[in-house]
Structure 1
Amino acid sequence: MPVLCSSCVDKRAVLKRPKTGHSLCKDCFFWAFEEEVHQTIVAAELFKHGETVGIAASGGKDFTVLAHVMKLLNERYNYGLTLMLLSVDEGITGYRDDSLETVKRNQQQYELPLKIVSYEELYGWTMDAIVRQVGLKNNCTFCGVFRRQALDRGAIMLKVDKICTGHNADDVAETVLMNVLRASEGDGVVPRCKPLKYAYEKEIVLYAYFKKTFLKDLESVRPSSIMDVIHSGENLSVRADVKMPTQGTCARCGYISSQPLCKSCVLLEGLNRGLPKLGIGKHHRL
């Protein structure tokens, strides 16, 4: 006998939610997922009416669902937001060029303005060129630092109030654990917000699949442990007697930095001088 949806008790259930264990039909799952994102936005007061929000556009599943849900909720609940898409072209042949085509299709589908900023435009280097000089071992250091700053610079160009990222519960839980193990850098100049913070990756995949956006193999996860880690991270705080670094600005580019030069400028100096390892590690010297 077919299992009925536990919400509407009318239609046939097509899935069992990983998050709650409830058996739901497609429509009830869509509504539940969207309402939970809405509650995350409202409870944390992520946005104010009239703000301009840049959605970090990667072309991946999380961005695709985020862009769709943000546009839908903005209209459903009259958030009064001006939404834009912001994408970073790292210059990785065969990877970013393909994903940027997906972003462009999304831009047409959602009818939102799109701004693409590139490493080559901002720094004079592509990731392909950086890898040729530094090799594969340390290239993630360059990409992570440059990407964080590139998002800020793109947001400033668009004059957005906040950057909206597609980080899900799995991502946030991993970040919390990594921050416990090592020092973490701040978000950046423009405030970040994560509407999918409490959405499990598995449910994002299900949402996208049933919306016919894409298909991906599902991985088994232990949902409760993911949420426990997130809530633990929210309760962490810095002791009052701990002295934090003074935040200033980079003497070269003006970006936020606790040192005379920001990390991007230090890394660029090493690249431009043919000494790529110069800016890697704590004891770099220019």
Structure 2
Amino acid sequence: MEAAGATAGATATATATADGSSKPRRSSSRQCSICNERKAALKRPKTLEQICRECFYVVFEEEIHKAIVDSHLFRPGERVAIGASGGKDSTVLAYVLSHLNRRHNYGLDLFLLSVDEGITGYRDDSLETVKRNEVQYGLPLKIVSYKDLYGWTMDEIVKAIGMKNNCTFCGVFRRQALDRGAALMKADKIVTGHNADDIAETVILNILRGDIARLSRCTLITTGEDGPIPRCKPFKYTYEKEIVSRMLISKSWTTFLQNAFTLLMHIVDLLVNS
């Protein structure tokens, strides 16, 4: 009976091979390679480490802190505008930067700066996310609009010029709106959520275009240092997949999905009715 029980137990923990023999089944759970105490929750694309959720929180934030310190991004007392769109990158950036500012005593005066382009059905919802970030992270919020700055909403611009080249108009207006909003709020620097993937894409585009001047600038962690308000990219070395992973385990993920779906429906509506 004991032998039969042992055989049954062995069978339960074995898998059949092609020739009918069996081999031990590998356990699907792995321990975190950092703490070696908790089960791994994800595999980091950057290092291929299997790590737990708690350790991921720590390494994700400390790598960003290292990039900030090594690059001398900020000085104590600086007023810093966080470009907030309501998307995943800026939402995570607002959380991480406010958290690191307290933990490591950067001494920064942080605030959220958002641009209302006037895109019906999209920007309204994403601004609601930014307003929730204001409450969640305890950061002041300033919203500047195309209507106030230029006298036009983006919807009105599209009606006037059509769908062609409207993204070019919006990109130029948005960049100027951030600069003007930051100047209005007397900011010393602007930080944006551009990550390693964004920078890699920009490098490839500039190579394809043969734009050597931009190629030399696009990989810098700080740009516009010769201008009135420099722009910094604390996520320069952060993979987009890890930002998404950070969103997945935060309360902001549901809201982000809702906004992404709203944007998709708005794009479909524009394509159908254009």
| Bigger proportion of residues as helix | 2
Q: Which has the larger radius of gyration?
A: 2
AA of the residue aligned to 2:130? V
> Which residue of the partner structure matches residue 144 of structure 2?
117
Tell me which residue corresponds to 2:66: 39
Say if 2:233 is the partner of 1:194: yes
Separation in 1, partners of 2:250, 2:158: 37
Match of 1:174 among 189, 197, 201: 201
| 1:91 matches 2:118 | yes
1:207 to 226, 241, 246: 246
Letter in 2 for 1:100: L
The one-letter amino acid paired with 1:161 is D
Superposed structure 1 runs of 4+ greater than 3 Å apart:
182-189
Output the CA distance in 2 between the equivalents of 1:212 and 1:172: 27
Deviations 1:146-169 (A, max 9, x none): 111100000011101000100011
Q: Which amino acid aligns with 1:211?
A: S
% of aligned pairs identical?
64
Say what the alpha-carbon RMSD is for the aligned residues. Answer: 1.7
SS in 1 for 2:172: helix
Amino acid aligned to 1:128: D
**Cα distance per residue 1:186-213 (max 9 Å; x no partner):** 7564100000111111110001112242
Looking at structure 2, the residues matched to 148 and 138 of structure 1 have their Cα atoms a distance apart, in angstroms, of 16
Give the C-alpha shift of residue 136 in structure 1. Answer: 0.7
Q: 5+ unaligned residues in a row in structure 1: which ranges?
A: 218-286
TM-score, normalised by the number of residues in structure 1: 0.73
Deviations 1:211-236 (A, max 9, x none): 2421689xxxxxxxxxxxxxxxxxxx
Counterpart CA distance in 2 for 1:128 and 1:8 is: 52
Deviation string, structure 1 residues 115-157 (Cα, Å, up to 9, x no partner)? 0000000000010000001111110111011111100000011
Q: Distance in 1 between matches of 2:134 and 2:54?
A: 25
Quote the Cα distance in structure 2 between the aligned partners of 1:211 and 1:153.
32
- What is the match of residue 132 of structure 2? 105
Select the residue among 5, 11, 15 that pairs with 2:42.
15
Q: Gaps spanning 5+ residues in structure 2: where? A: 1-26, 218-222, 258-274
CA–CA distance in structure 2, aligned partners of residues 211 and 135 of structure 1: 39
> Could you tell me which of 63, 69, 73 is aligned with 2:96?
69
